[in-house]
Structure 1
């Protein structure tokens, strides 16, 4: 049965193909219900970006989450999912370094392997996850991206997708208290953005350039800019090298 490990943790609907897994989420379903595919035709990422990949090469999944934490802690959710993804990927690529990039990416050796998109729907949050499984270098959208296969993961796409999705579901289940300081410490320890020189493209079109120094109480990014602290709750972050 496909996604056997993930199905042992939550109801998983496997779609042969779909426009976007976001569009098939049933708000009446049980918490952690998941819609997953290896053939998403019209996915979307942050800031309205398209997310398209060859069939059978990437995992796309949407997970229905019902947070029990106060809404002011929900900003930690994409970071907690990133942590769960990173921990699920770790054993698949044992010679690589897996990290979380604020606010919603997972990197392997500094290149993007996965992205996260959280969309609030009333009292629920739909968590979208996209993971590059077995893409080859010439199939990648950018030279700043990678795949589990390129990073050394073995196994077929379906097997890798199951391992990753099970890890994400387990991590979301275990991170039920998004206000937990221990969870925040684990995220900070895995976040490769911290300590980096960064450029933050803010929603209003303004840029910040400085050093990422920490995470705020709601999962914001603190950036030291010319001796002053700027706290960023939303923005596109580039690691400046």
Structure 2
């Protein structure tokens, strides 16, 4: 499917990661972490602009090296409590005001999920182009049924979901899904219609059941080690 729409990949990458120092430019599988979502974006059949939003000069230089554009992120959007949707809004507005660039579809690609499927991303974009949905993201089957979660009070425990049957065999438990974090795609129209929302999943959400066998979120040192082993298996 060809398109004349402006499809913008936004990669947020602030410099003040508390968990792992300089996480976004640390090497993973022989290239900086931030290079993974940049490279994925350029492989998409639909994304036609790739922008990194950052407050950090080192990240900025690495992003440019890997052919991404950079929008300087204000300090107030670069704290631990900042919301990613506010970074999206800032980037879209900045490009509109400085270049008269009209964004049609936004694709959020986060560095912390370096293992991404271009197939999944393009399917999500297609769902918006074909007007099946306002936004899209990918899911994987959860290894733990919500019926097997527990609530612990001071002196007692109980199933987290009332009347759940946690001791039923796994095959008899309801199937549940969790977000993979690979991507979030949404139309700029639905973004502008929801100025106060903190969610990236807006309007009608089209689910993509992930084709990627391995999904990881990079938050701690151990996650880098696991990710390195995964890359050895998939490359």
Q: TM-score, normalised by structure 1?
A: 0.26
Between 1 and 2, higher relative CO (CA 8 Å, sep ≥ 6) is seen in: 2
Query: Which has the larger strand fraction?
Result: 1
Larger radius of gyration: 2
Query: Which has the larger helix fraction?
Result: 2
